[in-house]
Amino acid sequence: MGKVLAFANQKGGIGKTTSAVNIAAAIAARGKKVLAIDCDPQGNLTSSFGINKKSLRTTTYELLLGSAKPADAVTATPFKNVSVIPSNISLAGAEVELVAFDDRATRLKKITDELKPSYDYIILDSPPSLGILTIDALTAADGVIIPMQCEYFALEGISQMMLSIRRIKELYNRDLQITGILLTMFNPRLNLTYDVLRELKKAYADKILSETIPRSVRLSEAPSHGMPICYYDKNGKGAEAYERAAKEIMKRI
């Protein structure tokens, strides 16, 4: 039975989707069968795997609204052991339309429960918000990865994220665990990096992954080529960091 791992943070621009894509690809490269589900209307995970968002017929939107079956939305990729349920801007309408459903918080869980027997890991990329799509992802997940930068505003954001996770556990998913906090765009030359890390360790020392993801031009370039970093620049420092992070995450979950 597969494990479901959500990547979530209400703050944008912190490498959340980049991490979801590259952790999924790194786990798959280790011989595990992985399904990545794009739960973000921006569809960045979808395009990061080289899938054309304009040509999609069945997406996460149709699944959540119940007009398609999960198997109909699974899209193959050219990357080893990775499949994707894609997303595009139509998913933005789900935030409003799902309000009419009594089971709106558990609709994604029903989809992942159906798919779990076919995959070792299911990776969920949620939007940079704490709306219904993120609630759905956290309700469906066994564990959550919180990517964050070493910035002071990120400290405020992670406190809110922790409160939201606690609330999800109380209302919808008592088994949800924080698999880890993944530090992204890590710059060891800045004093600010270590100031924030010190504060973070005071509250969440046991949650912080030991592996950090460095700033990297190659990591920024890879999505425009529709490739995870382990295929675009397999010997680069970004690929190596995500490989080590994936190994640590697999041990934790």
Tens digit of each residue's pLDDT, the chain (253 residues): 899 999 999 888 889 999 999 999 999 999 999 999 999 999 999 999 999 998 898 999 999 999 999 999 999 999 999 999 999 999 999 888 998 889 999 999 999 999 999 999 999 999 998 899 999 999 999 999 999 988 877 777 888 899 999 999 999 999 999 999 999 988 888 888 888 888 888 889 999 999 999 999 999 999 999 999 999 999 999 999 999 999 999 999 8
**Helix, strand or coil for residue 234?**
coil
The predicted structure's pLDDT at residue 13? 85
In sequence order, the 6+-apart residues with CB closer than 8 A to the CB of 135 are: 105, 168, 172
Radius of gyration for the alpha carbons in the chain, expressed in angstroms and rounded: 17
The predicted structure's pLDDT at residue 1? 81
The predicted structure's pLDDT at residue 23? 98
Q: Which domain holds residue 145?
A: 3-252
Gap between the Cα atoms of 129 and 93, Å rounded: 15
What CATH number is given to the structural domain containing 58? Answer: 3.40.50.300
- Work out how many domains the chain is built from and give that number: 1
Residue 127 and residue 138 in contact, taking contact as beta carbons nearer than 8 Å: no
Gap between the Cα atoms of 40 and 142, Å rounded: 19
Residue 91 and residue 39 in contact, taking contact as beta carbons nearer than 8 Å: yes
The predicted structure's pLDDT at residue 19? 97
